[in-house]
Amino acid sequence: MVVAIGFEGSANKLGVGIVSDGVVLSNVRHTYHAPAGQGFLPRDTAAHHRKHVLDVLRRALDEARVTPADIDCVCFTKGPGMGAPLVSVAVVARTVAQLWRKPLVAVNHCVGHIEMGRLVTGARSPTVLYVSGGNTQVIAYSQQKYRIFGETIDIAVGNCLDRFARVLKLSNDPSPGYNIEQLAKQGTKYVELPYVVKGMDVSFSGILSHIESQGREKLERGECTAADLCYSLQETVFAMLVEITERAMAHCGSQEVLIVGGVGCNVRLQEMMATMAEERGGKVFATDERYCIDNGAMIAQAGWEMFRSGQVARLEDTWITQRYRTDEVEVTWRTD
Amino acid sequence: MRFATMTEKHSCELRVPFEHEGEAEVAYNTLKVDPEPPRSGVTKSFLLEKNMLIVTFEAEEARKLRVAVGSSFDLISLVVDTIREFGTTPPT
């Protein structure tokens, strides 16, 4: 039996989770919510993580009913993400690893999402759509790498949604994207927006600028409602994501799509993806908010795989990095 | 703590005493790993003298020095709190 503890804090979610041979023993999360109309800033987010990390760690141990002695490896997010929040959490991981005399495993955040998605859904070798506030990538596995088939060339899709939520002054609790999704359900009129797919890549910054200026004007003139704008934005950006995912599936001959990342809990995105997959005779795998949204268990799960295949980090190599591409990781734990 | 202004460079030295040498070593190993952000314009070095952790900062701009010292303070106290809470292994 191998027990892994995972520390995550690359963005506004702080999480500690414990996984033992594919079983999630605990997965505690504490989220920093910026005031409505504002985004979360690195400084405030890091202060939030420092304030709550020891309590979250204690609860994760208690809920899992394990003692430090039961743990085999201490896993933490090396990157990508915001520097100050990453450091705050990595510092605790490094400290307890020394106190408990356990090896450290440095995990790529994106790989954490993929491995958790595979564990929870049982998808074997899916085409992966990873969509969150900081990342937008279409990924497929080939020869010991998670290869990026397509990605955003500017901002992440979640960032586009979050920033539009700020325009509407929607609450950041539980998340701006969730509140957009709820409001979009009342939308009845489609407001035309730019549709920006460039080969296998997508772009969202122009759509955001457009809806921020034109959308706001339409709203003020009473030509549409805030709900109409949320609906139109979702339909447009999700259609773009489904398009590039379908092309990656066709290229790889894959019948499975796995959606991971915070935007992956959006039910409308899951529906649109399911329609596409069914037309191709394929299947969509998605997880709920426990595992879609950043959490500690996903870092523990990826770390568990890495540890078992011998990927441990020397303490001096555990520096965090804001940029860390998914395809930089050697996937030593897969044999296919 | 000691501040100094030598010619153009500003510097600051933090001396943090720990209860045991072992704890100072844990803090030293933990904190020396992350370099200062490249654009911070601050150089930071760590030294261990028995139970004393010594951190030295140097920067051209006082403002940047202050930011670096402040964030190091935050991380040092986080390590101290972590040791206090999880340092003693419970009897098995």
Task: Give pLDDT, residue B1.
Answer: 66
Which of B82, B85, B88 is the best mutation test for A, with the most CBs of A within 10 A? Answer: B82
Task: Give pLDDT, residue B36.
Answer: 84
What is the C-alpha separation between A97 and B38, in angstroms, rounded? 27
Task: Please check whether residue A261 is in contact with residue A131, taking contact to mean a CB–CB distance below 8 angstroms.
Answer: yes
A266 marked ligand binding residue: yes
Interchain pair B82, A95: CB under 8 A? yes
Domain residues of chain A, as ranges? 3-114+293-328, 122-290
A167 marked ligand binding residue: no
Task: Give pLDDT, residue B2.
Answer: 67
Please give the helix or strand (H or E) that residue A115 lies within, else none. helix A109-121
Distances from the Cα of A161 to the Cαs of A186, A220, A269, A270, A315, in angstroms? Answer: 17, 20, 13, 16, 38
**Complex ipTM:** 0.94
Q: What fold, for B2-86?
A: TATA-Binding Protein (3.30.310)
Residues of A in contact with B87 (CB under 8 A): 99
List, for residues A38-86, the tens digit of each pLDDT value. 999 999 999 999 999 999 999 999 999 999 999 999 999 999 999 999 9
Task: Please check whether residue A306 is in contact with residue A105, taking contact to mean a CB–CB distance below 8 angstroms.
Answer: yes
Residues of A in contact with B89 (CB under 8 A): 68-69, 99-100
Provide φ and ψ at A43, rounded to 5°: -60, -50
Task: Give pLDDT, residue A8.
Answer: 98
What is the C-alpha separation between A241 and A199, in angstroms, rounded? 12
pLDDT exceeds cutoff 90 at A93: yes
Considering only the beta carbons, identify the residue of B71, B74, B83 that sits closest to A99. B83
Give A139's pLDDT tier (boundaries 50, 70, 90).
very high
Q: In chain A, what percentage of residues exceed pLDDT 70?
A: 100
Residue ranges of chain B with pLDDT lower than 70? 1-8, 88-92
B5 inside 8 A of chain A by CB: no
Identify which of A23, A222, A10 has the alpha carbon closest to the alpha carbon of residue A120. Answer: A23
Q: To the nearest whole angstrom, how far is the Cα of A125 from the nearest Cα of chain B?
A: 35
Q: How many CB atoms lie within 10 A of CB B6?
A: 8
Residues of A in contact with B36 (CB under 8 A): none
- Report the chain B residue with the minimal C-alpha distance to residue A317: B33
Task: Give the class (CATH, top level) of A122-290.
Answer: alpha beta
Task: Give pLDDT, residue A111.
Answer: 98
Residue type, A128: V
Quick one: average pLDDT of A282-298?
A: 97
Residue A80, preceding peptide bond in cis (omega within 30° of 0): yes
Please give the helix or strand (H or E) that residue A52 lies within, else none. helix A42-64
What is the C-alpha separation between A171 and A164, in angstroms, rounded? 12
Task: Give pLDDT, residue A92.
Answer: 98
What is the C-alpha separation between A257 and A253, in angstroms, rounded? 11
Quick one: average pLDDT of A203-215?
A: 97
Which of A51, A91, A316, A323 is the best mutation test for B, with the most CBs of B within 10 A? Answer: A91
Provide φ and ψ at A65, rounded to 5°: 55, 45
B6 inside 8 A of chain A by CB: no
Task: Give pLDDT, residue B91.
Answer: 38
A181 marked ligand binding residue: yes
Task: Give the class (CATH, top level) of A3-114+293-328.
Answer: alpha beta
Asked whether this chain's domains A3-114+293-328 and A122-290 adopt the same fold, the reply is yes
Quick one: average pLDDT of A89-115?
A: 98
Give A143's pLDDT tier (boundaries 50, 70, 90).
very high
What is the C-alpha separation between A251 and A139, in angstroms, rounded? 12
List, for residues A241-274, the tens digit of each pLDDT value. 999 999 999 999 999 999 999 999 999 999 999 9
List, for residues A13-47, the tens digit of each pLDDT value. 999 999 999 999 999 999 999 999 999 999 999 99
Residue type, A336: D
Residue type, A93: A
User: What are the residues facing B44 on neighbouring strands?
Assistant: B57
Residues of A in contact with B30 (CB under 8 A): 91, 94-95, 98
Task: Give pLDDT, residue B4.
Answer: 64
B19 inside 8 A of chain A by CB: no
- Report the chain A residue with the minimal C-alpha distance to residue B75: A88
Average pLDDT of chain A to the nearest whole number: 97
Q: To the nearest whole angstrom, how far is the Cα of A100 from the nearest Cα of chain B?
A: 7
Please give the helix or strand (H or E) that residue A117 lies within, else none. helix A109-121
A315 inside 8 A of chain B by CB: yes
